[in-house]
């Protein structure tokens, strides 16, 4: 495990380094507080730190405060080393954010024992973080496919529409449905159906960019949000998604089977970004239905004019019925 030794005294630093290396630590050294802070901020930097109280640039308590101010970083276990022995100094060091305090010259066996305690605390911290992240993942992801679940993908779509409205950039939406999925379940069993859904999820993730979002919309339906994708590129992107499923057979327990997708697609651009999300999903769902009715394994693109007409109808229906014709035209 990496450990930082920060001490402006070269001899003390070398002795501490040698002792810790003999105990199996990978030692990183610093001769002042600023250099120590830089080492701790590096990716994969030490999680254990032995800090001398008196150092140029930034003393031990000051470095403790700087480390603790970075709330989002991985926890660093800090031990202050100093010749000061008063209770007031101990309190000052602990209040600055130190986890432990050892007076110089320190006993090597006691130091190793205290560092072992620090390692146990870091292991517990890592387990808590891992458990928290696992709970967060389960709260937003589909348990079978590990894709975003319905609530999460819709939330991401709303966020992407808001971002696109601010930046005046397009967004495209794909609603995908696995063709003849009921037949797969009926003929090969539900386990085979689960394997197909898992493989569909994997192929969809491989077919999109890292900043695109893919979610399980429900059952055998998947929703894909393509940020920054305009109508000019939507056909190419949609065909890539369709071919990623149909281009090679799926392997299940009974052998290989061919699987295809039907897709509804829509681009939200310019004024359409003000359209309600429910209306956009309705239009792309109608396009998906047309793809199914037209023979499956194809992409149908929702007409923007239909979205515009529906918006106008909604606005007109909200106007007073006795509004003069001239006012209606202006509206």
Catalytic residue IDs: 220
Q: How many residues does the chain have?
A: 331
Backbone φ and ψ for 295, nearest 5 degrees, come out as 125, -5
Phi, psi of 285, deg, nearest 5: -70, -40
At 191, phi and psi to the nearest 5?
-65, -40
Name, in order, each residue with C-beta under 8 angstroms of 229's C-beta and a sequence gap of 6 or more: 170, 171, 172, 237, 267
SS3 at position 48:
strand
Complete DSSP assignment for 111-133: HHHHHHHHHHHHHHHHHHHHHHH
Q: Is 256 left (phi over 0), alpha (psi -120 to 50) or beta?
A: beta
DSSP 74-99: PP-EEEEEES---HHHHHHHHHTT-S
211 φ/ψ angles, rounded to the nearest 5 degrees: -95, 5
């Amino acid at each position: 495990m990496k450990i930082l030794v920060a001490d402006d005294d070269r001899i003390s630093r070398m002795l501490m380094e040698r002792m810790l290396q003999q105990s199996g630590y990978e030692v990183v050294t610093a001769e002042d507080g600023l250099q120590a802070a830089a080492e701790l901020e590096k990716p994969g930097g030490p999680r254990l730190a032995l800090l001398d109280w008196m150092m140029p640039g930034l003393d031990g308590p000051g470095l403790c405060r700087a480390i603790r101010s970075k709330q989002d970083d991985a926890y660093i276990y800090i031990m202050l080393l100093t010749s000061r022995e008063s209770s007031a100094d101990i309190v000052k060091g602990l209040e600055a954010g130190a986890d432990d305090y050892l007076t110089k010259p320190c006993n090597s066996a006691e130091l190793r024992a205290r560092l072992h305690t620090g390692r146990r605390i870091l292991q517990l911290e890592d387990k808590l973080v891992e458990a928290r992240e696992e709970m967060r993942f389960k709260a937003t992801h589909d348990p079978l496919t590990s894709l975003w679940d319905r609530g999460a993908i819709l939330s991401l779509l709303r966020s992407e529409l808001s971002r696109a409205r601010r930046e005046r950039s397009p967004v495209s939406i794909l609603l995908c449905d696995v063709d003849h999925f009921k037949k797969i379940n009926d003929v090969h069993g539900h386990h085979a159906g689960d394997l197909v859904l898992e493989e569909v999820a994997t192929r969809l993730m491989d077919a999109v960019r890292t900043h695109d979002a893919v979610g399980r919309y429900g059952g055998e339906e998947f929703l894909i949000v393509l940020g920054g994708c305009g109508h000019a590129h939507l056909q190419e992107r949609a065909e890539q998604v369709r071919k990623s499923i149909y281009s090679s057979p799926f392997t299940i327990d009974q052998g290989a089977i061919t699987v295809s997708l039907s897709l509804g697609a829509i681009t939200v651009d310019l004024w359409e970004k003000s359209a309600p999300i429910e209306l956009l999903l309705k239009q792309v769902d109608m396009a998906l239905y047309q793809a199914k009715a037209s023979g499956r394994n194809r992409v149908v693109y929702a007409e923007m004019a239909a979205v515009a007409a529906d918006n106008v109808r909604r606005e007109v229906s909200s106007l007073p019925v006795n509004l003069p014709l001239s006012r209606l035209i202006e509206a």
